[in-house]
Structure 1
C-alpha cells in the first residue's frame, strides 16, 4: 500500500493592513482616472462637434451650465432626467456652451453632437429606411447635444423621429443637452403644425424635465464680424 506524503501545513493568512488597502485603492483610482482622461480626446474627436466649438470651456459658461456638467459627470442631476435645455436668441452662445458641457463629460462618456435638421435629413435618406438606424445611433451615445431643435421640417414623420430620440434618452436617463432659439410655446406651435399637438407636448415636457437655462445677450456673430457685415 502506497504511503501518502504529508501535505505541508499552509501558513496562516494575514490580512493586509488598512494602509496597504488604502494605498492599493488610491493607485487603482488614479489608474482609472488616467485611463478616462486618456480616452477623452478620442471621444471628443469622434463626437462630430463643429470645429468652431472645440475650444469651448466651462469657464466661459453660465454657472447653471457648469453645474449641470459637474452633476452629470457624477451621474447626478436636478429634476426628473439629466436634460439641459438651453434657450435664447440667435448668437448668444447656446451651442458654444452646449459643446463645453458635452466635452466636460468626455472622461466618463462617449459623446455625440447633432443638429436636428441634419438628423431629419439623414433619416429621410433611402426613403426613410435609414431612420431607425440613425435614431438608434444617437440614442445610444453616452452624452448628446441636440442643436437647432425646432428648425427641422414640420411633418408627422419628423415629429415622430424627434419624439423617439428624446423619449429614448429620457427613458434611459442619458445626459442630453437640447439647444433651441424657440420659446416653449413656439416649439408647441411648431409640432402642432405637424398635425399632432399631443406629440409636441410630449417632446417639450421631456426636454424641460431637467435643468432649463435661458441665455440672454447680444448676437455675438454680429460683433465678431467686420463692420457693416454680419458673420454668416
Structure 2
C-alpha cells in the first residue's frame, strides 16, 4: 500500500492509502481512474475503505440532481402528511372523501358542476371576497357530492383547511364540549369561525333549538364580518330556512339568511334522486 493523499500539509495525521489489490474503476463521466482507499487517522488505518469520488463536472451535476430529487421527495412527503392531517381534521368521512369532481355525473347538473369546479380552482379569489356557495335542490341531485368535491380538491391540491359537516354534527360536538366544561369548546368554536372554508351540509334539517340557532348565527356572523366563506347544501328554499330558524319569536333565522344571501351565490340543482334510481335499477 502507498500513500494516496495528505490533507494536513505534509503531516501524516490524516491521509488515505490506496489498496493495490483492488482494481481501480473509471469515472463514468470523464474516465479518470478512481482507486479503492482507506482513511488513516493518527497512524491508525480504518478497516472500512471506499472508492474515490471524482470531482469532475459530470459528477457535480449528478450530485445537484440527486439533491434536487431528495428535496422534492421530502417536500412530497411533507405535503402528503399535511393533506392527511387536514383530511382527519375536516370531518370528511370515508364516503365523502371519495366524492370528487372526476366521479360526479356531470350530465345531471352540468352548470352546478362548472360553478363548483371554478370555485375550487379559483378559491383564493373567492375567499378574498368572502364569497361562498349555496347548493339548493331536492334529495339525491348531487349537492353534497359537489360540496365534498370542493372540500377534497382544496385539501389535496391547495392544502386549504376545511371543516365539513351538518349543523347537528358540528354544533352537537360544540354543545357536548360546553356541557362537559371542556377546554376544547373554545377551540371548536374558534375553528368553526375561522377555518378557511366551512361546509355546512343539509342546512335546515336540524332541530332548531334556541341554543343551536344562537350559535349558528354567532358562527355565520363571525365569518361574514371576517370575509370567511361558507359552502352550504340544503333541500329548502331560503324562505323556508328563515322560517325554520326563527324560533321562539327570535329573528335570528332572518339575520342568518340575510348574511348568507350576501355571502353566497345560489346554485340551484335539478333532477331525480340519484340514489333512488340506483335502487330501482338494482331491483
Please give the TM-score of this superposition, normalised by the length of structure 1.
0.73
Q: Give the gaps of 5 or more residues in structure 2.
A: 1-67, 107-112
**Structure 1 spans left out of the alignment, 5+ residues:** 1-26
The residue matched to 1:77 in structure 2 has which SS?
A: helix
Which segments of structure 1 move beyond 6 Å, counting only runs of 4 or more? Answer: none
Larger radius of gyration: 2
Compute the displacement of 1:177 (Å): 0.9
Distance 2:116 2:222 in 1: 23
Q: Secondary structure at the match of 2:88?
A: helix
Asked if the contact 1:95/1:147 (under 8 Å) is kept, the reply is: yes
In the TM superposition, residue 218 of structure 1 has moved relative to its aligned partner by: 0.8
Task: Describe the superposition over 1:135-192 as per-residue Cα deviations: whole angstroms up to 9, x where unpaired.
Answer: 2232232222111211222222211111111112222222321111110110111012
Query: Which residue, out of 83, 92, 96, partners 1:49?
Result: 92
1:166 to 214, 220, 224: 220
Question: Size of the alignment, in residue pairs?
Answer: 198
Change in Cα spacing, 1:70 to 1:205, as seen in structure 2 (3 Å) is farther
> Aligned match of 1:207 in 242, 257, 260?
260
Q: CA distance change for structure 1 residues 128 and 203 in 2, over 3 Å: closer, same or farther?
A: farther
- Which residue of 54, 79, 93 maps to 2:142? 93
Q: Larger relative contact order (C-alpha < 8 A, sep ≥ 6)?
A: 1
> Which whole-Å CA distance do the structure 1 matches of 2:153 and 2:162 have between them?
10
Structure 1 vs Structure 2 CA RMSD:
2.9
